[in-house]
Structure 1
Amino acid sequence: MATTVRLLRAVRRLGACYQSASPAATRAIITNRYYNLSHLRELNTSTIMASGFIGSNSGLLFRQLFDGDSCTYTYLLADTATKEALLIDPVIELAQRDATLIKQLQLNLKYVVNTHVHADHITGSGMLKKLVPGCVSVLSEASGGDADLKVNPGDVIKVGAVQLEVRATPGHTAGDALLIGGCGRTDFQEGNPETLYKAVHSQILTLPDHYLLYPAHDYQGLTVTSVKEEKEYNPRLTKSLTEFVEIMNNLGLPYPDKIDVSLPANKVCGLYNLPDDLAAELQKAS
């Protein structure tokens, strides 16, 4: 009997990161159990939730890939029957890695999804459009960025039997909501701690306790958590709303290193021919 698989992808945090990843950071295997596969991840003001099926005649291919520089997780999802695939949050410096993996697995890359306009790295979606012709870049309508396909809460993106539902989870910047034992910062872009707290509690922590959550970033070498763990042990989100707002307003985090280059470049996330000034800045930063 086919087993429903749901993917909830989480959002990112900016800052210094753990530089070495475990083998699990680059690969995850789906067994014949009911799973939620990731932290909810925001498409600027939205989160994606995917559902598919695992059974004798169809299945979901899932890969968790890692960028050690920005501590970004990129996710590859594919329907094993149709070979249709999508990538979530690729990094430009690793676009060739992703394109090679897609070719090796004999997949048809249909979509390249950016969950938001990133502030700590330049997306690889535009480069992947050059390396894998025919794929479509996807971004939230609320992001203010450029992409082939702009989505809104309630929209559905399909790759074979896998369906991605767009959900609204505002409150961080154009980015993170929940991390393993943490949450996205709220001190720049559209950040608002009260909005973030309410979004996480209403959209993520109301999910079944057994759902596994995979992060978009991690800075301690961790790769997975669960709804139950975050509800019980998250040091910020287990606080009251008032306490949470106080914590978030006094984190004193440094200004992200690459934000001045990444944000304008990612506004044109569907393009690989970056403006000359941005291309020059990227070259300096690499």
Structure 2
Amino acid sequence: MGSYSTSSQSQQKLLFRQLLEKESSTYTYLLADFSHPDKPAVLIDPVDKTVDRDLSLVRELGLKLIYAMNTHVHADHVTGTGLIKGKVLGLKSVISKASGAKADLLVEAGDKVQFGDLFLEVRATPGHTLGCVTYVTGTEPNQPQPRMAFTGDALLIRGCGRTDFQGGSSQQLYKSVHSQIFTLPKNTLIYPAHDYRGFTVSTVEEEMQYNPRLTKDEETFKSIMENLNLSYPKMMDKAVPANMVCGLQDSASVSS
């Protein structure tokens, strides 16, 4: 678990934890408005296998979990959203409308997901899948500084998500990252959905300078992505159908 904040005002307001699911190298992020009486919280990209761990942490910290949010329909693990809905009364599942998946809250570009006095702005970043979004903290003085971007698989640390299935498009991904993420302030912290080498955080400036794929021109990027020759995700046949209903389990139900 890690936390990061630079200003004392942000530190008092935002509680932040980065959590890892080892098998799929997935990061789950817990954010809460710690200065609010209810301590409302959100989980970004929960995994089914670590739901008990995450909810135990939520209880220990005295938080009220109100949203379980997904950056996209994952192909390498089953989201924990459905299980969490069965365990946390009143919690709402969140995914993008463009994903075609079911959830309580279907978000689009420009929407804001509020928790206490804090919020996450929704940016459409398709390309890895049709429905990928990036959640970004706000610009206002009472929001965390530096800004934080939860990029899912659109932008990874020194990499990016594959574009060869689920409606993926290397051209679209290139445009998404350059127009929606690389236009953020350079000190914006990048928190991806995965990392396979042990990195936990990057910045917009670092990725604009050192990302071996996205620093190239668009044609070179497309060529790189077309020649990755990646194997079929071993969990895809189980994960995608489950994640299209936000990880629906026997003990949970979602509405469209």
TM over 0.5: yes
Report deviation, 1:259. 0.2
Q: Give 1:31 deviation, angstroms.
A: 3.0
Q: 45, 57, 60: which is aligned to 1:101?
A: 57
- CA offsets 1:102-132 (integer angstroms, 9 cap, x no match): 0000000011101111100001011111222
Indicate which of 94, 97, 121 corresponds to 1:165: 121
1:37-116, aligned counterparts within 5 Å?
A: 54=10, 58-82=12-36, 83-116=39-72
Aligned equivalent of 2:138: none
Quote the offset at 1:224 in angstroms: 1.1
Q: Once the 2 structures are TM-superposed, how far is the Cα of residue 274 of structure 1 from its aligned partner?
A: 7.7
Query: What pairs with 1:1-286 in structure 2 (closer than 5 Å)?
Result: 26-32=1-7, 54=10, 58-82=12-36, 83-173=39-129, 174-175=131-132, 176-269=153-246, 271-273=248-250
Structure 1's 90 and 262: CA in aligned 2 closer, same or farther, altered over 3 A?
same
Contact conserved, 2:18 with 2:30, CA < 8 A, in 1?
yes
CA positional deviation for 1:271: 3.0
Paired with 1:233 and 1:149, the residues of 2 have a C-alpha distance of 36
Q: Percent identity?
A: 56
The whole-number CA distance in structure 2 between the counterparts of 1:194 and 1:146 is: 27
Quick one: which amino acid aligns to residue 62 of structure 2?
A: Q
Structure 1 residue 150: Cα displacement: 1.0
Q: How far apart are 1:270 and its partner, in Å? A: 6.1
- One-letter code aligned to 2:86: K
CA contact (8 A) 1:236 1:247 kept: yes
Following superposition, the deviation at residue 29 of structure 1 comes to 3.3
8 Å Cα contact 1:129-1:272 kept in structure 2: no
**Partner secondary structure for residue 192 of structure 2:** coil
User: Residues of 2 paired with 1:252 and 1:205: CA distance?
Assistant: 27
* Segment drifting more, 158-167 vs 69-78: 158-167
Aligned residues: 229
Two-structure CA RMSD over aligned residues (Å): 1.7
**Residue type of the partner of 1:146?**
K
Structure 2: gaps of 5 or more residues: 133-152
TM-score by length of 2: 0.85
Contact (CA 8 Å) 2:79, 2:247: kept in 1 or not?
Answer: no
Greater RCO, CA 8 A, separation 6+: 1
Tell me the CA shift for residue 272 of structure 1.
Answer: 2.6
1:62-93 CA-partner distances (Å, limit 9, x unpaired): 00000000000000000002200010000001
Aligned-pair CA distance for 1:255: 0.4
User: Which amino acid letter does the alignment assign opposite residue 155 of structure 1?
Assistant: D
Q: Is the 8 A contact 1:78 1:85 kept in 2?
A: yes
Give the match for residue 50 of structure 1. Answer: none
Counterpart secondary structure, 2:16 = strand
Q: In 1, Cα distance between the equivalents of 2:4 and 2:108?
A: 30
Structure 1 residue runs without a partner (length 5+): 1-25, 34-52, 276-286
